[in-house]
Structure 1
């Protein structure tokens, strides 16, 4: 079955700029339209039409980056008008195509699906330091009075032990803010108590794991803070929490976001301005509602995924339910492959699988 789905994906990719016809795909495959549609969703966890929409819009961001005319891009990808393309684009990325083109903002990658990839392709290989070294050369001011906050202990140890950004300070954020409850005052006593309970940890253990490693953030003043977070939902919810804390604490220095894909360490650097992240944090992570402020696309996309994952019938849960005959190990492998924009780790997926079962 996986070979058949890969054939469907290959056909779709070869025809992304043509008007999609499920009948043509079914004729190519030799199966009924219903069978093609049902099996594609069962194996990949996404509908054919949704996959095509996201792939077209993502590929169009590359054309925008190359300053191609928006109206030409719209027609290239089968939209009836520039307005129709812009509406679809804003619905996915939270801003219109022109804003993205002018400001060069990061978006989540939607790469071609490849079923049953071999190896742990989804894990970032930080040992490939080319991108980091280039940033270091280009930003020599990042050596002094700078704190680099890394998403997780593994990344922190790699950066710190190899001094990838020179004589800067380094700190890990060892959290998974996309799961469990939180509080309005970030890193305060209530926050620690609630988060520790959610992770089934004693408060002392949570402080040692999460709070103590951030000591420099709490106790030192920096001219610049650089945030290294992936573009998936897991990382972006952690990023939102850190930015919200910086607003709460009245931080006035420069902030740079270095966002990257987990499977390909190519950094997109964006300077951020504080002002509304805490209100977004309260709307999204406390009240579980959509944000009212405009955000960088990669965070807007992540928030939509986060809110979707709060539902008991989200796409990941449906996929687990439809493939409940698989072992936990095989399920986790497939979930990593099929839902890279979610960004869950083993622990989060195991907890979700056990809940579904």
Structure 2
């Protein structure tokens, strides 16, 4: 089945700037339209229509960032008007194409899907220093002693620290998973520690050792610049939201830069973040589990939608697990890594969802 679905994906990818018809695809690949739709969704965890929409809009965002005209881009990807393209763009990214082109804020990459590429998970290769060197050439002040780098997780922290990738600046890891379990305020306060440690089935002492103590420089020192290193996926973005909300709640007055990247490629997109509404977004999304009325950059807008969707048992991941319960855990988990990179869950979270279906 995977070979058949990969054939469909390849057919689609060759025609993303052309009119795509399910009937034409079914004729060319040799299966009925119903069979194509059913098997594609079963294997890819997403409908054909949704896959085409996300691929076209992501590729169009790259073109816009490179300076292409909005109308030309709309026509290139099969939209009948600039208005219809703008509506679709805003529904996915939470921002109009015009504002996106002006601000050039990061969006979540939606890359070509390879059904058979179900390895043991995606790991970022940060041994390449070229990308960091290019960042240093653009913004030397972020490599000084008055800079704190907040890194998403212990592994990334150890790599950065060992290789002194950010020069003389300080490093701390955020060893949390804010996309699961309940969240409260004030962030990093006693009640927060009690609730989060309980949610992870950890003692308060262990939680303090793993999460709070490594963040000590964030609490104890004053920095002119804070650089946040978080991936594009929902898991990382909910961690990022927590740190941004904490900076607001603690009255941080310095400058904040966000370095985002895909987990399978260390290509960094750097953006300066203006604090002001992230505490409200944290309250709405992570505490009350609802859409915030405040504007956020496109990448976080996408992550919030994914996070809220994952709170419901009828989300695409649970549907995929339900349809593939016959697979052993050691095969199913890598498939989930491959098919849903935008979620960013690790083994622990996916195993929990698998067990929830039993």
Q: Same fold (TM over 0.5)?
A: yes
> Which residue of 1 is the match for residue 297 of structure 2?
296
Equivalent pair of 1:122/1:336 in contact (CA under 8 Å): yes
Q: What aligned pairs does 1:226-245 form with structure 2 within 5 A after superposition? A: 226-245=227-246
Aligned to 2:207: 206
1:280 aligns with 2:304: no
TM-score by length of 2: 0.98
1:212 deviation in Å? 0.2
Q: Is 1:13 the counterpart of 2:13 in the alignment?
A: yes
* Distance of 1:225 and 1:288 partners within structure 2: 28
Find the residue that maps to 2:185 and give its secondary structure: coil
Task: Show structure 1 runs of 4+ deviating over 6 A.
Answer: none
RMSD between aligned residues? 1.0
Q: Which residue of 1 aligns with 2:36?
A: 36
- Cα distance between partner residues in 2 of 1:118 and 1:45: 14
State how far apart, in whole Å, the 2-side matches of 1:129 and 1:234 are.
25
Which stretch shows the higher mean deviation, 287-296 or 115-124?
Answer: 115-124
Task: Give the C-alpha shift of residue 136 in structure 1.
Answer: 2.5
In 1: Cα distance, 2:140 partner to 2:32 partner:
59
- The alignment partner of 2:267 has SS state of strand
Give the CA deviation at 1:63: 1.0
Report the equivalent of 1:77.
77
Per-residue deviation, 1:162: 1.0
- Alignment partner, residue 334 of structure 2: 333
Q: State the alpha-carbon separation in 2 of the partners of residues 178 and 90 from structure 1.
A: 24
Contact 1:74 1:81 in 2 (8 A): yes
- Change over 3 Å in CA distance of 1:119–1:129 after alignment to 2: farther
Structure 2 CA distance for aligned equivalents of residues 180 and 145 of structure 1:
34
Instruction: Mark the runs of 5 or more structure 1 residues left unpaired by the alignment.
Output: none
List per-residue Cα deviations over 1:258-289 (Å, max 9, x = no partner): 00000011000000000000000001011111
Tell me the SS of whatever aligns to 2:216: helix
Alpha-carbon deviation of 1:120? 4.7
Q: What are the equivalent positions in structure 2 for 1:247-286 lying under 5 Å apart?
A: 247-286=248-287
Q: What is the distance in 1 between the residues matched to 2:250 and 2:116?
A: 45
- TM-superposed CA distance for 1:176, in Å, is 0.4
Question: By how many angstroms is 1:301 displaced?
Answer: 0.3
Q: Is the 8 A contact 2:234 2:306 kept in 1?
A: yes
Paired with 1:21 and 1:281, the residues of 2 have a C-alpha distance of 41
Instruction: Report the equivalent of 1:22.
Output: 22
* Cα separation, 1, equivalents of 2:296 and 2:221: 28
Check conservation: 2:57, 2:89, Cα contact below 8 A. yes
Question: Secondary structure, in 3 states, of the residue corresponding to 1:325?
Answer: coil
Cα distance per residue 1:224-251 (max 9 Å; x no partner): 0000000000000000000000000000
Contact map agreement 1:147 1:170 (CA 8 A) in 2:
yes
Residue 158 of structure 1 is matched in structure 2 by 159
Conserved 8 A contact 2:121-2:334: no
Which residue of structure 2 aligns with residue 179 of structure 1? Answer: 180
Q: Deviations over 1:158-178 (max 9, x none)?
A: 101111001111000000000
CA contact (8 A) 1:121 1:263 kept: no
Provide the rounded CA distance (Å) in 1 between the counterparts of 2:119 and 2:283: 39
**8 Å Cα contact 2:257-2:273 kept in structure 1:** yes
Q: TM-score, normalised by structure 1?
A: 0.98
